[in-house]
Amino acid sequence: MTNTMTDTMTDSVASIGGDAGQIWIYLYANGSASPTQLVRALKTTAANVHRAIGWLAREGKVDIVRQRGIERVVLIEEV
């Protein structure tokens, strides 16, 4: 890999991590939210929100539940 490619990948990972942090903060302050609500609240793209949700889910920080037919992202409470 070239340095430019490595730098771009590192920037992407940092961006996803930053978005994940913003989603965690939003959910902590506001409770569960749909991905669409998160896109609007964070003023970012759906793709970025979905990547960040995946990041948080992989870390065991969030779960996705269906409430009244709508998927919502919820924080998993740490014990």
CA nearest to 36, candidates 49, 27, 23, 26: 49
Interval 54-74: pLDDT, tens: 999 999 999 999 989 999 999
> Is residue 3's pLDDT more than 70?
no
Interval 16-67: pLDDT, tens: 999 999 999 999 999 999 999 999 999 999 999 999 999 999 999 999 999 8
> Is residue 9's pLDDT more than 60?
no
Q: Per the confidence metrics, is the pTM higher than 0.95?
A: no
> Is residue 1's pLDDT more than 60?
no
Which residue ranges form the domains of the chain, and what is each CATH number? 3-75 (1.10.10.10)
CA nearest to 35, candidates 78, 2, 73: 73
